Structure 1
């Protein structure tokens, strides 16, 4: 019998095979409308046969990202989405038998990677009012902690950590020889960031992605920032050409266009306010913190409401267990998208 890694053999994974091209996608925190079409057309003109035939080069993008974030290019590794960066971090620093510490609920892939690399996943659950103190995290960091992952803001709840809380967690993790990862996938939908702290802490890694605000989920590009030595280890584990030319090109052009950043932020903020106002006016229990998503509790079964919305071509996400049982999460976008969602919700969730 051939060898199969014991951590992979019986690992449970959810695969996505749904056709989503002709629906209003409000289930995975994408931008439902994408980048401005005129910008996309401008970039497409740069894609020539010669451009596609060459192997990718990442140095120009690394320099642009370094300038954008106020750090050095050697503090950055560009990856195939931030998801690849997560996997590389576990591959480099996820010591089998040691503990991964996260909050719950959180991004599901962290539990998957913990199992894949033989780590023990310890969690701290949010309170019913969606609060969580840094002390509850600090109390669980110990000598067997190998990695601590914080989302800032958290998905799916949307709460941010303060700088004092983050510093306390990083400092204790450092004393226990643990790596700290701050996932900032939703950074551009809030002001909070811990990117500057990579210059102070040699155990800290910060993740960013082009999938959320920058609307390039289909291109799979992101990056990880941190101490030069940590980045060196991550790049030792990377494949030779892990990001494609088209993804790099779009990322470079986006970094040159801060006006598009501002436009996308404004469009989402206007849509989010419109949605929360309409949900609140109709009497729903609503939780809208940071990030491009809103939580609300429908009058009827969340599972049934999500099913009805899906039949109407509007896809959302509900939860079946934990403190989010019965809640629905809606990815936010333009006022137009939010109005379409709400019109269908009124039909699906009649009072």
Structure 2
């Protein structure tokens, strides 16, 4: 049977998301880094009081209410903000706008594998620079590659480590292309690179409401950059890429920074306890500035993953080079984490 697709699509593997059981399934879900706490009560109230008129009309194509709330929360000019249907939407726009054959996309590995998928879709040149076993930042190699786009996730997934602001500043000063700093997990980290958008016209900071704001199901993310850089991206984005419900709920969540920060602090405290408990089992646990832990079990990682799945606990197992002996564990509530440790003791 002949293929109906481009040769690059036929050759692709495609991004493989984590398992998503139906809501209400009796399972402890620690595989896709959702926040274990509910969204802001203010955001939930907006959803419950939704005026049906918002569903009848097209939404604001620029999500200006959300941009205004974000501007006030982060002290960033409103026109320095672009909103997307999740940060993945903006990643897609960036690659479509800036990459093509002969214009490379560069990133250290292992990292968020969607970067690779998007480059393959665009048929652009790809340069993957390996992290060391200790996840030391490959500064010289990233600079030498001089990508049209350089992606750096900080904090990084699946490792959980953050890149020092001084390193990101130096990298930005040496690149001729766009530096995209993906801060999906920044709400659980010790510092942000947000100041760099004021210093460099080629820096774009990417954020999401999926992690810190407990709104993964809403699909809302945003980019922060100087207007000249955003102008090209606005040409590429879909006309109405943000729906009205997401704008309303996301605006309420962004306005409730105290609640978001309170939940993030609870996750950080639980992260510390969970790391200690796993190390007491003899596991290697990398230091993390995210809401998950990268771990290396004392025995076969895939077998432990499958055994826990039988027990109703989902972790993330990556069957790929350098990760197939490790497990990524989302930090749950203290009760969920205790049940995980109890199950691990039984399984081991």
Q: TM-score, normalised by structure 2?
A: 0.92
Where in structure 2 are there 5+ consecutive unaligned residues? none
Residue correspondences, number: 342
In structure 2, relative to structure 1, the CA distance for the partners of 1:227 and 1:339 (3 Å cut) is same
Map 1:198-237 onto structure 2 (within 5 A).
Answer: 198-237=197-236
1:42 maps to 45
1:338 maps to 337
2:164 maps to 162
Distance in 2 (CA, whole Å) between partners of 1:41 and 1:124 is: 42
1:245 maps to 244
Shift of 1:203: 1.3
Shift of 1:3: 7.3
In structure 2, relative to structure 1, the CA distance for the partners of 1:335 and 1:301 (3 Å cut) is same
Distance in 2 (CA, whole Å) between partners of 1:111 and 1:161 is: 20
Asked if 1 retains the 8 angstrom alpha-carbon contact of 2:94 and 2:233, the reply is: yes
2:174 maps to 172
Map 1:1-351 onto structure 2 (within 5 A).
Answer: 4-16=5-17, 18-21=20-23, 22=25, 23-35=27-39, 38-39=41-42, 41-57=44-60, 58-138=63-143, 140-142=144-146, 145-174=147-176, 178-348=177-347, 350=348
Distance in 2 (CA, whole Å) between partners of 1:15 and 1:161 is: 26
Asked if 1 retains the 8 angstrom alpha-carbon contact of 2:15 and 2:117, the reply is: no
In structure 2, relative to structure 1, the CA distance for the partners of 1:18 and 1:290 (3 Å cut) is closer
Distance in 2 (CA, whole Å) between partners of 1:125 and 1:15 is: 21
Q: TM-score, normalised by structure 1?
A: 0.91
Distance in 2 (CA, whole Å) between partners of 1:270 and 1:6 is: 48
SS at match of 2:95: helix
SS at match of 2:175: helix
Where in structure 1 are there 5+ consecutive unaligned residues? none
CA RMSD, Structure 1 to Structure 2 (Å): 2.0
In structure 2, relative to structure 1, the CA distance for the partners of 1:344 and 1:40 (3 Å cut) is farther
Asked if 2 retains the 8 angstrom alpha-carbon contact of 1:152 and 1:159, the reply is: yes
